[in-house]
């Protein structure tokens, strides 16, 4: 789509001029690094770079994307990077801008997002400072960012800035990916260009050739041995489900081994209708207890393996994974295929407790899957009995898959006409509205997500939420994902809680201003629903009135008019929808509006869960 006229600089020379200031070569460097966009919230400490991006670079390669709040700017970069799987760039104002963005840095850090964060600072020369510069300057501005980053720097010269940008890019891209932060001195930006500056060639291998990490051969052999001996193997998918190509490899691995498959937390790797996909089966019936009965579990690229295995038990409500007591956990073998042990979580508890892993496949998840699959395919040619056994397991799982999906369909049928609108009905209607588009589901209500209703065809359809659990990511993250999806010709849809949306609705202005189409479904239960459930549960345990759980949680009296909030920022909007029969015709209209280039919010009032 074309830029709005207001975003095209005027009165510039026909041909690009030679760089004159430090910030000019910094802008050139961002272009050399391949950034199409930079998200930013304005600030005087990068006024030099801002001027260079516009009046020297012509506001292209990269193009500035104005965000009304720093948290939105970082969340947009977060969402953009999840779609493209390459670094995004954010530019923020000194101390105050950084501190506004801390929540979104946490989410990106937890999600291992590749990102270059540039912060204006100083000037470091005290003689150049205004009064406000003293208030907003730090002796070490990078210190704020060190808990969230792989690397930080405060380069002292213009050449050092260029070299540091190149290093920041490489480190952000090297697995496990993460954030790099550079603090750019205002004085260096605004000074005339130093002589003999050398622009790093980003095409050289020293900067761009980042090899994938492979698992050691002995580890692959040990994992293959476990699969050959297993009676009931299970594979748990993980974050690699964002990446194209994951489904094909996992599908072949699941089928050749006769493994049951389940998605990990808040991810999609395998087609919903694959006959060995038992996602959503955590109960006690024979159709759903695959985790409890498995004697081998391969956990692929999951952040918290202990949670996947149910190791948190019933502690304060337990975790996501469920393993029933009828299975002897001592006899389970666990394979961890991830780069978790290379992570930089040196100050936080991301990843939870130390999991009981028998074989560590420390590798890029897709590369490691290929290694394991190749070894098992080789062994299959020498072990016909194992292949026959795996085939029989696959056939048995297919029957259980049908039974599981029947149970999930019945949940939808039983709650189809509920008033208020049930969450299963919401999921059903949204899926049917977008299923014929080339969609990306950028956000969903994972704590109240009913499996088996949305028929995913595999990976790269759903991006996962923010990983850090910080409310407020949704609006910016979805718009950032939609920016990347727009350029790829894809349709962006998101299901977002009203609490999440309430924190950063101004992201819709950015979407409307830059013609970033997206369909945002507001799953509006008028409550901070997760915490209302906690209050209800705790009151029950303490034998206190559960009916008071809504106090301090419900956003009512007055109700928020979310449709008018969205319209105020330039979006199109519908709702509130309160009757199930109103959903389908409204969504049909909304989908057409998004295809026509609009960002559209549909407010649907739902039950609590």
Domain of residue 375, CATH code: 3.40.50.1220
Q: Residue 209: its pLDDT value, please?
A: 79
Q: Residue 329: its pLDDT value, please?
A: 59
What digits encode the pLDDT tens for the residues 508-557? Answer: 999 999 999 999 999 998 888 778 888 888 999 999 998 998 888 888 88
Residue 499 within any structural domain of the chain: yes
Residue 319 within any structural domain of the chain: yes
Strands (E) located in 78-207: 88-92, 115-121, 149-153, 179-185
Q: Residue 75: its pLDDT value, please?
A: 97
Whether 148 and 231 map to the same domain: the answer is no
Rounded (5°) CA angle 110-366-300: 55
What mean pLDDT comes out for the span 263-284? 88
pTM: 0.94
Residue 20 CB coordination number (10 Å): 12
Q: Residue 313: its pLDDT value, please?
A: 62
Q: Residue 1: its pLDDT value, please?
A: 47
Q: Residue 5: its pLDDT value, please?
A: 61
Residue 268 within any structural domain of the chain: yes
Whether 175 and 243 map to the same domain: the answer is no
User: Which range is most confident: 138-147, 302-311, 428-437?
Assistant: 428-437
Whether 163 and 236 map to the same domain: the answer is no
Phi then psi dihedrals of residue 64, to 5 deg: -75, 135
Residue 410 within any structural domain of the chain: no
Instruction: Point out the domain boundary residue: 208, 228, 245.
Output: 208
What digits encode the pLDDT tens for the residues 326-358? Answer: 444 567 999 999 999 888 777 888 888 788 899
In 3D space, the residue among 441, 506, 481 whose CA is nearest the CA of residue 113 turns out to be: 481
Residue 452: which pLDDT band, with cuts at 50, 70 and 90?
very high
Q: Residue 176: its pLDDT value, please?
A: 92
Whether 264 and 339 map to the same domain: the answer is yes
Q: What is the DSSP string of 260-271?
A: EEEE-TT---S-
Residue 307 within any structural domain of the chain: yes
HEC assignment per residue over 101-133: CHHHHHHHHHCCCCEEEEEEECCCCHHHCCHHH
pLDDT above 50 for 361: yes
Instruction: Point out the domain boundary residue: 168, 188, 208.
Output: 208
Residue 584 within any structural domain of the chain: yes
Whether 67 and 190 map to the same domain: the answer is yes
Contact between residue 158 and residue 188 where contact means Cβ atoms under 8 Å apart: yes
Whether 175 and 262 map to the same domain: the answer is no
pLDDT above 80 for 506: yes
Cα separation of 65 and 74, whole Å? Answer: 11
Q: Residue 327: its pLDDT value, please?
A: 47
Residues linked to residue 362 through DSSP beta bridges, in sequence order: 338
Whether 115 and 224 map to the same domain: the answer is no
Cα separation of 88 and 95, whole Å? Answer: 21
Residue 451 within any structural domain of the chain: yes
Cα separation of 573 and 604, whole Å? Answer: 11
What digits encode the pLDDT tens for the residues 114-143? Answer: 999 999 988 888 888 887 887 788 888 889
Flag the least confident range among 28-32, 307-311, 317-321, 486-490: 317-321
Whether 288 and 249 map to the same domain: the answer is yes
CATH number at residue 542: 3.40.50.970
pLDDT above 80 for 254: yes
Cα separation of 480 and 80, whole Å? Answer: 5
Q: Residue 314: its pLDDT value, please?
A: 56
What mean pLDDT comes out for the span 101-119? 95
H helix count then E strand count, the chain: 23, 16
Residue 407 within any structural domain of the chain: no
pLDDT above 70 for 185: yes
Contact between residue 518 and residue 478 where contact means Cβ atoms under 8 Å apart: yes
Domain housing 531: 415-605
Who's near 158: CB < 8 A, 6+ residues apart? 22, 25, 26, 188, 191, 193, 194, 197
Whether 427 and 389 map to the same domain: the answer is no
Instruction: Point out the domain boundary residue: 208, 241, 259.
Output: 208
Question: Helix (H, G, I), strand (E, B), or coil: what is residue 335?
Answer: strand
Q: What is the DSSP string of 500-518?
A: HHHH-TTHHHHHHHTT--E
Whether 387 and 506 map to the same domain: the answer is no
Q: Residue 124: its pLDDT value, please?
A: 83
What digits encode the pLDDT tens for the residues 575-588? Answer: 899 999 999 999 99
Who's near 77: CB < 8 A, 6+ residues apart? 39, 88, 89, 90, 108, 113, 115, 480
What mean pLDDT comes out for the span 454-469? 92
What mean pLDDT comes out for the span 52-58? 96
Q: Residue 213: its pLDDT value, please?
A: 94
In 3D space, the residue among 503, 449, 437 whose CA is nearest the CA of residue 474 turns out to be: 503
- What's the chain's average pLDDT? 91
Whether 443 and 561 map to the same domain: the answer is yes
Please name the residue ranges forming H helices in 191-262: 205-208, 217-229, 246-257
The number of folded domains in the chain is 3
Whether 202 and 348 map to the same domain: the answer is no
């Amino acid at each position: 789509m074309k830029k709005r006229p207001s975003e095209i600089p005027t009165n510039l020379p026909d041909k690009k001029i030679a760089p004159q200031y430090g910030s000019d070569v910094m802008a050139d460097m961002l272009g050399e690094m391949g950034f199409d966009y930079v998200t930013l919230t304005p600030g005087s400490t990068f006024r030099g770079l801002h001027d260079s991006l516009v009046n020297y670079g012509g506001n292209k390669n990269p193009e500035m994307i104005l965000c009304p709040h720093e948290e939105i700017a970082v969340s947009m970069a977060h969402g953009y990077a999840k779609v493209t799987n390459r670094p995004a760039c954010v530019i923020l104002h000194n101390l105050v801008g950084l501190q506004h963005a801390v929540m979104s840095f946490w989410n990106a850090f937890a999600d291992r997002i590749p990102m270059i964060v540039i912060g204006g600072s100083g000037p470091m020369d005290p003689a150049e400072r205004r009064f406000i510069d003293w208030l907003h300057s730090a002796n070490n501005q990078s210190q704020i960012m060190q808990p969230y980053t792989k690397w930080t720097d405060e380069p002292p010269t213009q050449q050092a800035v260029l070299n540091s940008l190149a290093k920041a890019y490489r480190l952000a891209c090297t697995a496990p990916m993460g954030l790099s932060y550079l603090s750019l001195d205002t004085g260096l930006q605004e000074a005339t260009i130093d002589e003999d500056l050398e622009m790093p060639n980003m095409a050289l291998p020293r900067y761009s050739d980042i090899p994938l990490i492979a698992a050691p051969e002995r580890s692959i052999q040990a994992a293959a041995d476990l699969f050959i001996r297993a009676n009931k193997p299970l594979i748990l998918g993980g974050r690699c489900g964002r990446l194209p190509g994951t489904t094909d490899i996992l599908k072949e691995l699941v089928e050749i081994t006769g493994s049951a498959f389940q998605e990990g937390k808040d991810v999609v790797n395998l087609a919903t209708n694959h006959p060995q996909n038992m996602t959503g089966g955590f109960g006690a019936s024979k159709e759903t207890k695959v985790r409890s009965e498995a004697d081998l579990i391969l956990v692929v690229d999951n952040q918290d393996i202990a949670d996947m295995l149910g190791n948190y038990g019933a502690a304060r409500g337990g975790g996501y994974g469920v393993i029933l007591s009828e299975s002897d956990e001592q006899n389970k073998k666990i394979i961890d295929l991830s780069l978790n042990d290379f992570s930089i979580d040196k100050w936080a508890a991301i990843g939870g407790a130390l999991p009981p892993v028998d074989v560590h496949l420390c590798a890029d998840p897709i590369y490691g899957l290929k290694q394991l699959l190749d070894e098992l395919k080789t062994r299959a040619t020498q072990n016909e009995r194992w292949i026959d056994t795996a085939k029989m397991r696959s056939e048995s799982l297919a029957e259980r898959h049908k039974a599981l999906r029947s149970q999930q369909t019945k949940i939808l049928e039983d709650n189809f006409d509920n008033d208020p609108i049930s969450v299963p009905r919401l999921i059903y209607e949204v899926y049917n509205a977008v299923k014929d588009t080339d969609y990306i589901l950028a956000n969903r209500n994972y704590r109240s997500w009913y499996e088996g209703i949305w028929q995913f065809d595999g990976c790269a359809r759903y991006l996962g939420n923010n990983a850090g659990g910080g409310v407020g990511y949704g609006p910016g993250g979805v718009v950032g994902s939609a920016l990347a999806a727009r350029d790829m010709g894809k349709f962006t849809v998101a299901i977002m809680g009203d609490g999440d949306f309430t924190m950063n609705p101004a992201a819709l202005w950015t979407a409307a201003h830059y013609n970033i189409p997206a369909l945002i479904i507001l799953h509006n239960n008028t409550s901070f629903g997760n915490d209302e459930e906690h209050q209800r549960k705790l009151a029950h345990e303490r034998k206190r009135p559960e009916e008071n759980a809504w106090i301090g949680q419900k956003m009512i009296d007055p109700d928020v008019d979310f449709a008018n909030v969205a319209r105020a920022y330039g979006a199109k909007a519908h709702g509130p929808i309160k009757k199930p029969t109103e959903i389908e015709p409204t969504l049909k209209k909304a989908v057409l509006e998004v295809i026509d280039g609009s960002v559209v919010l549909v407010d649907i009032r739902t039950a609590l869960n």
